Chain A
Amino acid sequence: MNQINRLREGGRIDRARTLSFTFNGKRYQGHAGDTLASALLANGVNIVNRSFKYSRPRGIVAAGAEEPNALIQLGGTESAQVPNVRATQQALFDGLTAQSTNGWPNVQRDLMSLVGKLGGRFMPPGFYYKTFMAPASMWMTYEKVIRKGAGLGRSPMERDPDSYDHLNQHCDLLVIGAGPVGLAAALTAARSGTRVILCDEQEEMGGSLLDSRELLDNQPAVQWVERVLDELAQCDNVTLLPRTTANGYHDHHFVTLHERRTEHLGETAPQGAGYRPTRSRMHRVRAGQVLLATGAHERPLVYGSNDVPGNLVAGAVSTYVRRYGVVPGNKLILSTTNDYAYRAALDWLDVGREVVAIVDARQAPDGELVAQARARGIRIIEGAAVLEAKGGNRVSGARIAAIDAEAFKVTGQAETLACDTIASSGGYSPVIHLASHTGARPSWNEESLGFVPSLVRGVHAAGSARGVHDLAEGLADGAAMAEQALEALDRPAGPIALPQVDSLREGAACAFYQVPHEKPTLRGPKQFVDQQNDVTAAAIELATREGFESIEHVKRYTAMGFGTDQGKLGNINGMAIAARCLGKTIPEVGTTVFRPNYTPVTFGAIVGRHCRDLFDPERYTALHQWHVEHGAEFEDVGQWKRPWYFPKTVNGKSETLDEAVARECLAVRQGVGVLDASTLGKIDIQGPDAREFLGRVYTNKWAKLAPGRVRYGLMCKDDGMLMDDGTTSCLGENHFLMTTTTGGAAGVMEWLELWHQTEWPELQVYFTSVTDHWATITVTGPEARKLLSEITDIDLDKEQFKFMDWREGQVADVPARVFRISFTGELAYEINVQANYALHVWTTLFEHGDKYDLTPYGTETMHVLRAEKGLIIAGQDTDGSVTPEDLGMQWAVGYDKPFPWIGKRALSRSDTRRKDRKQLVGLKPKDSAVVLEEGAQIVFDPDHAIPMPMVGHVTSSYYSAILGHGIALAVVKGGHHRIGETVYLPMVDGQVHQAEIVSNVFYDPKGERQHV
């Protein structure tokens, strides 16, 4: 066994279960219950990474989410790669494979550290901006080199074998953190019967009690934890979520929790009973009240070379020793500002290792822990601090001297003591990240020397999270704050019996952050504030000298607390240094805003099941199956899948889009085609005021439309710009069927309701969407009447059933409404049948259609045919800045209607009356082989100096098979009065196309064909 730092007993690991793992290509062993970090320390691995900017060797500093250095790349196979995992939060499993995130070619011998060694003074804050931004064109090249050296992990290049999901949760009280405070709170709330969720980011619930020296009810604290968890597990109203990090606090107590479900079991989820469980899960929690029992992060002191491996925060030493049975060194020096940290030295001594000295920044500390340390013979150096760590790849000693914290001066002669581990504690920062997400600014608490959260209504903080660090007080605070939350919910619970804690009396801590050095900060050894982002005290001092006074600006200039770090260890120290340099106090400098997420979240958990074929809804018509079976290529129209074209196989080769569309177009112009138009929006309108309402929302007149008739209508917004168009049929005197564009259906429905509910509630009318109820089949072409007559009992005689009439009858024995409207310019019938019968009607058409060469066509052909006729598509030929008059559609505007309909007033504004507005025209390219590009800009003078005045653009453009040349619709300034003029379209490749402005009706200008 090679676990040189593993203790023979103690801790919560299972020594009977040995697990193998690989780190940077080397195999090691650990035990069940280890984190990757504790296992690495057990094996004496000092260097776990290279630093981001200076490429310095780095070791493990902490034991939890606040760890700045041990960021690893997880995964033994390509598809299982996960970047940015904290080794301190990754449970060890057999076969785990991990690598350092940074370090090229490897962490032991790193070429990039050359930059760091040379660097120092060459890499001040803003280094990348200052050095590499000029010339700007070189940035891409610089970036590649920098990224290679200073990577932050990489994403997998293969498909993730795992699945992820979301769970929508609702509770009365969400308790975040299951340490002593959270457990007391959850227990209180559980007994009230309210719905409670308790989540905790660690592998095991219990928090600080898992490595506590204190006794609860005269027993090890863990026993109380187990009792409480047992009781909570029995409660139907309580949901326990271990391995679950509360990462984001959003509006109105919506909190996102990220549960790692199988990440402790293997690098991909194990195969279960026929399925693979989700690897991780996002809980989307809507809580009534939230209680933050998130504890505190211990602040390290900022001294010289405090990043050499072997420098840890004091609490982490206790955690490794007591929880994981690992002692990460042999000779310890503790540098502290408070009593609580003395426990690290006592824990160290308890397992038989040497404590060289405790260096206390205070004069004459006198708490009970201090007395215990003294009684056990530990040398305590008062009024002093570790100025500087010695050593390269591992701490070899510490320079210690008396200091004057207030004056920021070294006052005594430094002595160097040999050691391999330096633990430091500068106090405790409440974990206020989540409270900060709500927008509430934290406030400085002088007593506990930390920022405590300000709280919006419904949020409660308890225990260390609000600076109440004493265990007995924390337990009581947890229970009390839970009661406060329950009262707000009107579900008071009554007190629970709290365990008896024998607390030790602690002396006051002192405010001390950056340790002075004999040399000024800018000249002395690097003092790291934020190890993850390689931000030093000197960088912050320099930033303030360069004029950055706001802490938000200092943060951005130095990158302190950036990215996944979110300032967990360094923020307060950084503020203290900025405050010292600016001659202000910490509360005067203020704190930065923490943002979600608290720790990195895998994309899988964010996406959940919304991926692959479930990425977005796909809406199908009732005929979808037929389209698929007949080889349709599909086009996305909103969420609908519409047949785009139906390529045929000719001589073993599938037609191209152009070939298929040319064939489909000619079939409609010369024979008969059929289109699935079911996606059109359809709205049933009933009520005595239906007709009046139509007159107000459409620009044209509806007063005289008789039952049996259909009319085309334009719908504008009140700014006079076209919003949607479609036909509306009069079914009965008080009954209409409106159609909308496919994309506009939901918007038009909401629009009608908006006006009815907010402006004209007195009108008696109801709107109901029937889009999905009816399938719509368009039969169009010169042969349409003959074909349809074979399968319908409706009299199709052209005098009996005219253009813009509708009739009802049987089509293929199915009750149908048939509308004689045309979007192709040809004779056309739109057949509406209840969608469940659509396939029968459609296939019956084909049974009879053979002799007419009935041709199914898709949206592309539909577009070409309508463009040949100059018919617009709202949203393609219009863009919210086009009036009916710009479209040349004055015939569809009822200027003299009595009610001021929507859009009317705007049509008389000076701007809408301008003569040089962009107006819809046709464009005929001079070269008949040219099909203009949609979106191409139009100019009058191609020789004009750049920038040329642009006078319009192409909105639709196709090749017209029936005409034998390209056609386009375009908007051109004053276009209606420029028919016959030539315009120019300069293209990206230098070509300039010429086109003649023509009428937008290219084919059958008199419109005779649809009336036959």
Chain B
Amino acid sequence: MFHIYCPYCEEHREEEEFHPKGQAHIARPEEPEACSDEEWGDYLFFRDNPRGIHHELWVHAVGCRKFFNITRHTVSYAILETYKMGELPRFTAEFPEGSLSEKVTTEAEAMSRQEGVKA
């Protein structure tokens, strides 16, 4: 039973509220017609299965219904970070201790949301 921080709800929630949706960052080819059968097959069917850091797409199904990404260690099951769609992970196979790029965008967004609402 994972304990997952939803970057949209901004708090930890129980795994029961989420659905896993497979490997993250699988972009659909811009021009599917230009793909060979093999390339299209790769996009459809082939996924990584690393021992270590893995990026996964999840959805907060019983909650805000938003999709987001999780960086998870497949051995320890530790969740190193969760991040919104469109953001990049700080923890990667190349930077297992985390890269320097701060989550400036997230903070800016949070700020704008709160400023935007006149409570």
Task: State the A residues within 8 Å of B (CB).
Answer: 250-254, 286, 439, 456-457, 718-719, 750, 753-754, 757-759, 761, 900, 904-906, 909-910
B-chain residues with CB within 8 Å of residue A718 when the two chains form the complex: 28, 43-44
A471–B1 Cα gap in the complex (Å)?
A: 36
Closest to B43 in A: A718
Q: A254-B3, A286-B14, A909-B37 are in contact. Are A753 and B67 (CB under 8 A)?
A: yes
Q: Are B40 and A252 in contact (CB under 8 A)?
A: no
A-chain residues with CB within 8 Å of residue B40 when the two chains form the complex: 905-906, 909
A239–B75 Cα gap in the complex (Å)?
A: 33
A906–B40 Cα gap in the complex (Å)?
A: 8
Distance in Å: Cβ of B40 to nearest Cβ of chain A:
6
Q: Are B85 and A754 in contact (CB under 8 A)?
A: no
Q: A900-B33, A906-B40 are in contact. Are A251 and B66 (CB under 8 A)?
A: no
B-chain residues with CB within 8 Å of residue A252 when the two chains form the complex: 1-3, 77, 79
Question: Can you list 29 pairs linking A and B with CB atoms under 8 Å apart?
Answer: A250-B1, A251-B1, A252-B1, A252-B2, A252-B3, A252-B77, A252-B79, A254-B1, A286-B14, A439-B77, A456-B76, A457-B78, A718-B28, A718-B43, A718-B44, A719-B44, A754-B21, A754-B59, A754-B67, A757-B66, A757-B85, A758-B85, A759-B28, A900-B31, A904-B32, A906-B40, A906-B44, A909-B37, A910-B37
* Chain B 62-111 residues near chain A, CB threshold 8 A: 65-67, 75-79, 85-86
Q: Are B67 and A905 in contact (CB under 8 A)?
A: no
A750–B33 Cα gap in the complex (Å)?
A: 26
A240–B75 Cα gap in the complex (Å)?
A: 34
Q: Are B59 and A753 in contact (CB under 8 A)?
A: yes
Distance in Å: Cβ of B70 to nearest Cβ of chain A:
12
B9 interface contact, C-beta 8 A:
no
Q: A252-B77, A254-B3 are in contact. Are A750 and B32 (CB under 8 A)?
A: no
B-chain residues with CB within 8 Å of residue A757 when the two chains form the complex: 66-67, 85
Q: Are B19 and A750 in contact (CB under 8 A)?
A: yes
Q: Contacts A252-B3, A750-B61, A900-B33 given; 7 further ones with Cβ under 8 A?
A: A251-B77, A253-B3, A254-B1, A456-B76, A719-B45, A750-B59, A910-B37
A40–B41 Cα gap in the complex (Å)?
A: 69
A-chain residues with CB within 8 Å of residue B76 when the two chains form the complex: 439, 456
Closest to A440 in B: B76
A909–B38 Cα gap in the complex (Å)?
A: 9
Distance in Å: Cβ of A843 to nearest Cβ of chain B:
35
A757–B19 Cα gap in the complex (Å)?
A: 15
B57 interface contact, C-beta 8 A:
yes
A-chain residues with CB within 8 Å of residue B75 when the two chains form the complex: 439
**Interface core residue of B2, B3, B35, B57 (most chain A CB under 10 Å):** B3
A759–B53 Cα gap in the complex (Å)?
A: 24
Distance in Å: Cβ of B44 to nearest Cβ of chain A:
5
A155–B67 Cα gap in the complex (Å)?
A: 45
A-chain residues with CB within 8 Å of residue B44 when the two chains form the complex: 718-719, 906
Closest to B65 in A: A753
Q: Are B1 and A905 in contact (CB under 8 A)?
A: no
Which of B3, B33, B57 is within 8 Å of A905, CB to CB?
B33
Counting from the closest, the 10 A-B pairs by CB-CB distance are A905-B32, A252-B3, A254-B1, A900-B32, A757-B67, A250-B1, A909-B37, A719-B44, A251-B77, A251-B2
Distance in Å: Cβ of A734 to nearest Cβ of chain B:
21
A909–B37 Cα gap in the complex (Å)?
A: 6
B-chain residues with CB within 8 Å of residue A457 when the two chains form the complex: 78
B-chain residues with CB within 8 Å of residue A906 when the two chains form the complex: 40, 44
